[in-house]
Amino acid sequence: MANAVHNVEVSIVILTVGSLVSLLFARRRKLCGWVSFAFVCASSVYTGLAVVGACTVASGEHTILSLPQLGSRLSLRIDPLSAIFLAIVAVIALLSTLYSVRYMDHYEHDNVAKFFPVLLLCVASMTGVLACTDFLFFLIFWESMTLTSYFLVTFESENAASQRAGLKYFIITHGATLCMVAAVLFLWRTSGSFAFDAIRQTLSALLVTRPLLAHTIIFLFFLGFATKAGILPMGDWLPDAHPVAPSGMSATLSGALVKLGIYGLVRLFCFFLVVSSALKIWGIILALAGTGSLFVGTLTALRQTDTKRLMAFHTIGQIGYICLGLGVGIYCLDMYPALATIALAGAILHAVNHACFKSCLFLGAGSVLYRTGKRDMDQLGGLARFMPFTTGATTIASLSIAGVPPLNGFASKWLIVAGCLLAGMRFPLFLVLGLIALFISLATLASFLKVLASVFLGKGDESRGVEEVPISMIVPQVTLAALCVLLGIFPQLVLRFVGYAIEGANAMPVSGVDATRIWGGLRLIDGSPVGFWSPLAILAALAVLALLCYGIQRAGGAQSRSVPVWYCGEEHAPDLVRYPASSLYLPFKHAFQGIYPSGRVHVPRFPASLRRALDFDQWLYTPTVKAIDRAADRVSRTHVGTPQIYLLWIVIGAIVVTGILLWVRS
């Protein structure tokens, strides 16, 4: 394990050095991109070695810096849980950086010095978060990750929407970080240490001696991690930030960065807290929050016509699936450990799967934007013949996110829903939540059928001159699509690592899922076999049916011909007669219009008081921005150019700082 930790340290150093080196080549856009990609490649190799080592060797820890006065030390440790998320970060960062080398041509008037060096620092910060075992340095890496991602979201400095989304992201995520800081400081005051082990012992003891205080601290941690994960209503920043960021960063945001919120939730409830009946209430809270997110996020996505905004809402929906699985698993840990492992395995597996198909979808949307300059599906259509690789990769990813077998989204959703239904036999609420999850999976399929039909199918303006994107943008999409297929046919490849993570968290094997046979499919075990999934059998059946259909077509000898569509004797341009994306599923949208009474607000209409409370623009963001503007205006009036005034401010500042230090010392 020492080697695994050493590899992660080398990975972080490579990314940091790469950020500085790429900055030197910022004037040469493509060279800067390729240099950044080379450093990310080297970093990913070391991270991959660390991931493999973490699941084959006993856990160890390496201290880099010690601060005994604060009870803190910069120490790194890689366990199977952090290894899974490190793998996600490494793969998505590698493919997103490669994709961005040519994609950044789309921003020809913006300096890439604001993108590639910052992206590498963001990846280094995410790596530090996943390897750190001390909360002081965990928060430092966490804040570095938040700040660098903020600069990437606001990359287009002249875009008002980008700046507004960045400000919203900055305020919400920093408010959530303050919640975690408050929780950590209280635990530090009690234990005298920032170490994970010390804080775990303190928090577990508080659950027994002072339960109300302990649950308050857990709630503060929950707010911090759930906000980063994008769970509603804390994830209100996500639908605004994803569309305005460069597509490579959008893929990193959705594929990797929001997963660190999930990592924090798993670490909190499965590692920091002792398994007890006290966790049941948090299992219910997580399950309800997840179901609310998947329901509202997916149905709001269904009405979107902006490709990237639609996918941003689907990020909320899919994170809701993960949170639902975590909630069911945490609820069952105390009484039904076998059921708990089914739901937890499904949740962590879905985090891996989501990184694959959602990153692929964002890269596909970016490719369409790169070639057409458009994100509005009402203005797109017929791109399949011009962009076959992008079409194929997006189709596979769309079917994956909808849970169509035998792709990877099905296996993880099957485990989550199975966990809900089995746990629902003991606690009926989970049965209802599982049925809602099933329904929303159909809504997800409908949403992405709209994307495929509106963007790639039908007839478009053939004179537009659209062509496929460069090879460096095709490879990441095809790779992610291939992973969707591979992990769908062989989910055991990931479930074995997931099993190690769950076993390390709770000192018990994944007894609810039999994933030992790579060719034998998955079997759920709860006293007796209750479910079986064989991707290879389904794949074989689909192949036989496809061959049968092809044989029937060939035997019939039917001729095919291409003719203009009959429009009652008059020729029309395709754009005049095509069915726009905004008109698809209108009856369904009207039936659920209470979920989204306007295009901007995406919180439930009922009750009205709750809707007003969740309208953060009205009572938080707008007043905050106005207050900052007023304060900045008042401060600017003090800059009158008189040296005596500046000296006076220095004296006043020194007095204030001295007073604060004396107060802290007392």
- Condensed to tens digits (0 to 9), the pLDDT of residues 477-488 reads 999 999 999 999
Q: How far apart are CA 300 and CA 27, in angstroms?
A: 41
Band (601; pLDDT cuts 50, 70, 90): very low
Note whether residue 450 is domain-resident. Answer: yes
* Predicted local confidence at residue 402, as pLDDT: 92
* Predicted local confidence at residue 460, as pLDDT: 64
Note whether residue 444 is domain-resident. Answer: yes
Mean pLDDT, range 3-30, rounded to an integer: 90
Tally of domains in the chain: 1
* Predicted local confidence at residue 28, as pLDDT: 87
Could you tell me if 81 and 505 are in contact, meaning their C-beta atoms sit under 8 angstroms apart? yes
Could you tell me if 153 and 169 are in contact, meaning their C-beta atoms sit under 8 angstroms apart? yes
Mean pLDDT across the chain, nearest whole number? 85
Note whether residue 406 is domain-resident. Answer: yes
Note whether residue 428 is domain-resident. Answer: yes
Q: What domain range is 473 assigned to?
A: 276-457+465-507
Query: Is 530's pLDDT higher than 60?
Result: no
Query: Is 595's pLDDT higher than 70?
Result: no
Q: How far apart are CA 166 and CA 118, in angstroms?
A: 15
Residues β-bridged to residue 72 = 67
Per cent of the chain over pLDDT 70 is: 89
Widest CA span in the chain: 96
Band (507; pLDDT cuts 50, 70, 90): very low
* SS3 at position 301: helix
Mean pLDDT, range 545-568, rounded to an integer: 81
Q: How far apart are CA 508 and CA 513, in angstroms?
A: 13
Q: Tell which wins on pLDDT, 445 or 463.
A: 445
* Predicted local confidence at residue 302, as pLDDT: 86
Note whether residue 551 is domain-resident. Answer: no
Note whether residue 192 is domain-resident. Answer: no
Note whether residue 156 is domain-resident. Answer: no
Band (57; pLDDT cuts 50, 70, 90): low
Q: How far apart are CA 437 and CA 422, in angstroms?
A: 14
Note whether residue 371 is domain-resident. Answer: yes
**Cβ neighbours of residue 21 under 8 Å, at least 6 residues apart?**
35, 39
Q: How far is CA 213 from CA 71, 216, 217, in A?
A: 22, 5, 6
570 phi/psi in degrees, rounded to 5 = -130, 135
| Helices 280-301 and 428-451: angle between axes, nearest 10 degrees | 20
